[in-house]
Structure 1
Amino acid sequence: MRKSLIGLGVAGVATVALVTGCGSGNDTAGMQHSSTTASTPAAGQQADHNEHDVKFAQEMIQHHQQALDMAKMVPGKSTNAKVLDIAKRIEGAQDPEIKKMTEWLTKWGAAPTSTSMPGMDHGATGSSMPGMMTAEEMNKLQQANGAAFDRAWMEMMIKHHQGAIDMAKTHLEKGSNADSKKLAQEIITAQQAEITEMQGLLKSS
């Protein structure tokens, strides 16, 4: 009887050791799993944008470039100080934004849209984007001068700005990158203010 009890005791110790050993193995597996899980946020941080962020940057670069082409026409065709000032501000704001979006696309491994295309090409290339001028409209604007140019330019720029605002509003809904959504909001605010300003000038002219 005594030997049986001793035997049971030894068996119990062996069982405890076996269970402990299994527990230790599970802990190790759990640690490995936790380590893998911990690395996931780092990967998520790299994926700080979605497809719409890329599309927004590529299309807005092209959209901005046409606005720059239009703004650069003004000094040679207008003597209106207020129109000259608006054009200067548009150029001063949108050129840095093009550079910023180009940097994002490079960081994201996406091909930036060319910013060196002649203005006459933008109508055909960007006709699917809201507010883009056609090649014919750009040609007509190029041929105008003085007060006729000022009116045509402001009417076209209002349309162009409204297109950019529509694009930016869509991006606020579909984009995921915080910086690009911040830029979208800045575009909405700045260009809406310029639309209001140009509408006022058209009414007073």
Structure 2
Amino acid sequence: MSSVQRTVRRPLTRRLAAVGVLASGALLLAACGSNDRTSGTHHESTSAPSAAKKSAANPAPGASNDADVTFAQSMIPHHEQAVEMAELAEGRASDTEIKTLAAAIEKAQGPEITTMRAWLKAWGAPASSAHGMPGMDHGSGGMDHGSGGMDHGSGGMDHGSGGKDGMSGMMSAKDMTDLKAAKGKGFDRKFAQMMIGHHNGAITMAKDEQRNGRNATAKKLAGDVIKNQTAEVAKMNKILDRL
């Protein structure tokens, strides 16, 4: 190789080396920028769970009063019994509408029980009243309906003044035993009759909450109970008409 050729090749080699260094630097800067953006996105995403956690810590924000507490304490066992009744439909009910209605009741009222328990915890109130489950007559081993409860003579529900301690529409231990023993069309009719009375009791309690309660979240749930269960009562009355 001539001296002229070596002279030409050396500057070319230096230029290529310089280009390689610049390219490496550009890739490094791009990588850093990408890491910075990724890091920033990560910080933003981690702040979301923190905000959600803070919101979840106060499920019923705002002021509350004794009526709100009583509503939750009473409605929890009321809902629990409705769910128990709805669960009995599986394997016993024969009417398609009864099966669909029972599933809807279970799906709606189960989460509401969890919601109301969270309210009571946030309010620093016990899950039940000082006298135990409202409406329970422990002396007789079941529910004391007062002038309410089932009117078996007429084959329907007597929607009088409701149960003891304001727990309106609760079924007695005998009512529940009779429902468990029923099957087919007999179960369908008994379920509709009992649930109509049960729903009407819940509606009465919800109206009391709307009149006397203070917490906006609790009053909204009361409004939902009135709307949804009134519609279900109308549906069950129609079912009874054709059974």
2:185 is matched with which residue? 147
Q: Distance in 2 between matches of 1:75 and 1:123?
A: 24
- Residue 143 (structure 2) pairs with residue 124 (structure 1): yes
- Tell me the CA shift for residue 204 of structure 1: 1.4
1:204 is matched with which residue? 242
1:76 is matched with which residue? 91
Counterparts of 1:182-193 in structure 2, within 5 Å, are 182-193=220-231
Q: Distance in 2 between matches of 1:178 and 1:135?
A: 35
1:87 is matched with which residue? 102
Normalising by the residue count of structure 2, what TM-score does the alignment of the two structures yield? Answer: 0.60
Q: Which amino acid aligns with 2:215?
A: N
Deviations 1:126-166 (A, max 9, x none): 85211000111111111111100100000000000000000
Q: Distance in 1 between matches of 2:74 and 2:237?
A: 26
- Residue 102 (structure 2) pairs with residue 64 (structure 1): no
Q: Distance in 2 between matches of 1:123 and 1:182?
A: 31
1:138 is matched with which residue? 176
Q: Distance in 2 between matches of 1:86 and 1:197?
A: 9
Q: Distance in 2 between matches of 1:124 and 1:132?
A: 7
- Tell me the CA shift for residue 113 of structure 1: 3.2
Q: Which amino acid aligns with 1:133?
A: M
Over the aligned positions, Cα root-mean-square deviation in angstroms equals 2.0
Q: Distance in 1 between matches of 2:231 and 2:95?
A: 19
Q: Distance in 1 between matches of 2:236 and 2:142?
A: 22
Gaps of 5+ in 1: 1-45, 115-120
Counterparts of 1:9-28 in structure 2, within 5 Å, are none
Is the contact between residue 131 and residue 160 of structure 1 (CA under 8 Å) also seen in structure 2?
yes
Q: Which amino acid aligns with 2:83?
A: L
The answer to which structure has the higher helix fraction is 1
Is the contact between residue 123 and residue 132 of structure 1 (CA under 8 Å) also seen in structure 2?
no
Counterparts of 1:96-135 in structure 2, within 5 Å, are 96-113=111-128, 123-124=142-143, 127-128=163-164, 129-135=167-173
Larger Rg: 2
Q: Which of 178, 192, 196 is residue 216 of structure 2 equivalent to?
A: 178
2:34 is matched with which residue? none
Normalising by the residue count of structure 1, what TM-score does the alignment of the two structures yield? Answer: 0.71
Q: Name the SS for the 2:214 alignment partner.
A: coil
Counterparts of 1:151-170 in structure 2, within 5 Å, are 151-170=189-208
- Tell me the CA shift for residue 112 of structure 1: 1.2
Deviations 1:42-82 (A, max 9, x none): xxxx8710011001001000100000000000012012211
2:8 is matched with which residue? none
2:35 is matched with which residue? none
Gaps of 5+ in 2: 1-60, 130-137, 146-162
Matched-pair identity in %: 44
Q: How many residues align?
A: 154
Deviations 1:76-111 (A, max 9, x none): 201221100000000010001101100000000011
